[in-house]
Structure 1
Amino acid sequence: MNHDSYDPKTIRDLLGSVKTIAVVGASANPARPSFGVMRFLIDKGYKVIPVNPGHAGGEILGQTVYARLSEIPDTIDMVDVFRAADQLSGVIDEALALAPKPKAIWGQLSVRDDKAAEKAEAAGVTVIMDRCPAIEYPRLFG
């Protein structure tokens, strides 16, 4: 897949089909982008599960925080990654170890690792990078 441009239909279909989104790097600080994106996704009706080892067992926006993806009891449709680009590969490895695997892994703005994305795509997982669902959703759904 070309990671420089994405077909709007691909993103629209993805955001229209996923229900449960794990947010890796979720922050309890309202000034952080991950907090605002989590709130946006919750407001749009998604089930959002924050992942942050430093807040595990606590809550962010009323949602229980988990230390890692493997601890989440629900099936995860999409993993939204708010981590440095050099950490995306590790998050992808953790996501690919889940059963069932998520439909998609989404790297937030500036979160991009083409080699890691190719590994996920080879395993049948859609990868979107350097985009924000809170920007794409209003653009595609109005």
Structure 2
Amino acid sequence: MIEGDGLSDAELREILTRYRRVAVVGASREPTKPASYVPRFLMRQGYEVFPVNPFADEILGVKAYKTLEEVPRPVEIVDVFRPSEAVLEVARSAVKVGPKVFWMQEGIYNREAAELLKSHGITVVWDRCMMKVHNRLFGSKPHIPV
């Protein structure tokens, strides 16, 4: 069982309201995968999304970046769709680009990564779906392909 990240709804609401530039690490071209429909949802909610995938040139109609460090604008949230065991490497890259928030999607958690990020003043969210949290807090309706 994954321990909770300890963030309150007020803190999550603040994150989702204040920070609008999101790098999605592990973004997918496959429309039925959460790594595709969650970033698409975020785009529809007005977030600026930067897909990060070393195997894609374009995702959701926007340029995809091979690495987090290649994203040209300052990233406020790093949203991670990678296996828990791959998260530490992503966290090390995130420390270099300095986001405000590092968000590990549902089912994803890496304690060492969380400790590293927190030691650099980065807020860490884990085991939560950004789309589901947005829907719960703001009443938005997610579009999940069937």
TM bin (shorter chain): over 0.9
Confirm or deny: 8 A CA contact 1:3 1:114 kept in the other structure.
Answer: no
1:54 equivalent in alignment to 2:51: no
Structure 1: stretches of 5+ with no match in the other structure: none
> Corresponding residue for 1:38?
39
Return the alpha-carbon distance in structure 1 between the equivalents of residues 114 and 18 of structure 2. Answer: 20
Return the alpha-carbon distance in structure 2 between the equivalents of residues 130 and 105 of structure 1. Answer: 12
> Corresponding residue for 1:14?
15
Return the alpha-carbon distance in structure 2 between the equivalents of residues 120 and 67 of structure 1. Answer: 21
Give the secondary-structure state (helix, strand or coil) at the position aligned to 2:17.
helix
Return the alpha-carbon distance in structure 2 between the equivalents of residues 120 and 4 of structure 1. Answer: 13
| Inter-CA distance 93–8: structure 2 relative to 1 (3 Å threshold) | same
Which deviations, in whole Å up to 9, do the C-alpha atoms of 1:80-99 show, x marking residues without a partner?
0000000111100000012x
Q: What is the Cα-based RMSD across aligned positions, in Å?
A: 1.1
> Corresponding residue for 1:110?
107
How many pairs are equivalent? Answer: 137
> Corresponding residue for 1:73?
72
Return the alpha-carbon distance in structure 2 between the equivalents of residues 4 and 64 of structure 1. Answer: 32
Amino acid at match of 1:117: A
Amino acid at match of 1:10: E
Give the secondary-structure state (helix, strand or coil) at the position aligned to 1:67.
coil
Percent of pairs with identical residues: 39
Which deviations, in whole Å up to 9, do the C-alpha atoms of 1:100-127 show, x marking residues without a partner?
x100000011110122101101110000
Return the alpha-carbon distance in structure 2 between the equivalents of residues 67 and 92 of structure 1. Answer: 15
Return the alpha-carbon distance in structure 2 between the equivalents of residues 103 and 116 of structure 1. Answer: 15
Cα displacement (A) at 1:61: 1.1
Give the secondary-structure state (helix, strand or coil) at the position aligned to 1:54.
coil
Confirm or deny: 8 A CA contact 1:104 1:126 kept in the other structure.
Answer: yes
1:75-114 matches, cutoff 5 A:
75-98=74-97, 101-114=98-111
Runs of 4+ in 1 over 6 A off after TM superposition: none
Structure 2: stretches of 5+ with no match in the other structure: 140-146
Give the secondary-structure state (helix, strand or coil) at the position aligned to 1:116.
helix
